[in-house]
Amino acid sequence: MSETSGHQLPMIPAAHPLIGEEEVEAVSAVLRSGMVAQGPQVEAFEEEFSREVVGGVQAVAVNSGTSALHLGLLAAGIGAGDILLFMTLRNEIARLPYFLKYYRDMGVRHFLVVDNGSDDGGREYLAGQPDVSLWLTHASYKEARFGIDWMNWLLRRYGTGHWCLTVDPDEFLVYPHYDTRPLQALTDWLDASALRSFSAMLLDMYPKGDLTAEPYRSGQNPFDIACWFDPANYSIRKNGLYGNLWIQGGVRGRVFFPDDPENGPALNKIPLVRWERGYVYASSTHMLLPRALNLVYDEDGGEKASGCLLHAKFLSTFVEKSAEELNRKQHYANSHEYKAYHNAMQSAPSLWCAQSCRFEDWRQLEDLGLISTGNWA
């Protein structure tokens, strides 16, 4: 009852289960059988779930979602303080061996991956990795807000209380001192500084000459080939609604969007977050809620520590991959970005120019103003 009006307010149920005669009869059949635990219906459910959802991996039914989450963490070997990596992918088998090695060497303890219907053997490869937990879906990437709904669900379920790195399989984090300090050294410093998020600008890397001239081999360091980047030609502005910085430009602005720079892809990312319940990525990893997590910069003349995501998109595999994604039409704005790639690639352009820089180390990126040590000595 309302204390002020005396009128009874309508109840809004937290959930409204859909229970029809089929569900009632199924439950009644189980009760009549006298086997209310571990009976044939449970076994049938486990078998169907294994076959239809997780690609044949053994499935075990438990009594509640809480029990499932607890057992999942134990089975995955995820412990307190472990740094976790989250990603969604489709048909990236060639990239996976080096990607996993790179982040294992950096200190990531477990990988939580959503596979969106790969048919190149990548799903089977990941299923065989002891530090990978794998989910399979054939649902629409576009309708899942370009995969971020899947990531938010996993982050909430498994990432709470952990430092979580959310990246694509062609993104490689570099940060100040990354060549001598593991990722946990960075997260320990962020904890000590009461910082809960860390930004990294997407830095597109590319080869000198035709993209298809040197084939990329599975397990190869992609930056043996794509070792050049644009040192300048970036625009930056503040998003008034979410408070995050919005960065565009670089080689994609120069080559693919020279006449329409404002519609070029966003390069600002906040991939590393100490996750808590209630956090959510609002648009890819470009911005988060609560908005305070987006304040990864200093407006008073100083600098906060930041990194880069070296982006290994532009390899020999790019032409075929862009054609596939253009055909699928599962990306933002009806895949307008991939339309620009496809149109430009018809003339087989070289992305390299006279102002391109060859990547050396993180100190070079700091000298160019692309990353910052902030006050992390």
The pLDDT assigned to 232 comes to: 95
CA nearest 270: which of 255, 252, 292?
Answer: 292
The pLDDT assigned to 373 comes to: 97
> Could you tell me which residues come within 8 angstroms of residue 304 by beta carbon, excluding any fewer than 6 positions away?
195, 199, 296, 297, 298, 372, 374
- Tell me the CATH number at 221: 3.90.550
Tokens representing 120 are 């190149």
Q: Is 205 a domain residue? A: yes
The pLDDT assigned to 69 comes to: 56
Q: Is 159 a domain residue? A: yes
Q: Is 186 a domain residue? A: yes
Give the count of beta carbons closer than 10 Å to the beta carbon of residue 32. Answer: 8
**Residue 175: which domain range?**
80-367
Q: Is 10 a domain residue? A: no
User: Based on the structure, what is the number of domains in the chain?
Assistant: 1
Q: Is 209 a domain residue? A: yes
Q: Is 303 a domain residue? A: yes
Q: Is 6 a domain residue? A: no
The model carries a pTM of 0.81
Q: Is 354 a domain residue? A: yes
pLDDT tens for the chain, residues 1 to 377 = 444 445 666 766 666 677 888 888 888 888 888 777 777 878 788 788 888 776 677 778 877 666 665 566 556 678 899 999 999 999 999 999 999 999 999 999 999 999 999 999 999 999 999 999 999 999 998 899 989 999 999 999 999 999 999 999 999 999 999 999 999 999 999 999 999 999 999 999 999 999 889 999 999 999 999 999 999 999 999 999 999 999 999 999 999 898 888 888 999 999 999 999 999 999 899 999 999 999 999 988 889 999 999 999 999 988 777 766 666 665 544 556 767 777 777 666 789 999 999 999 999 999 999 999 999 98
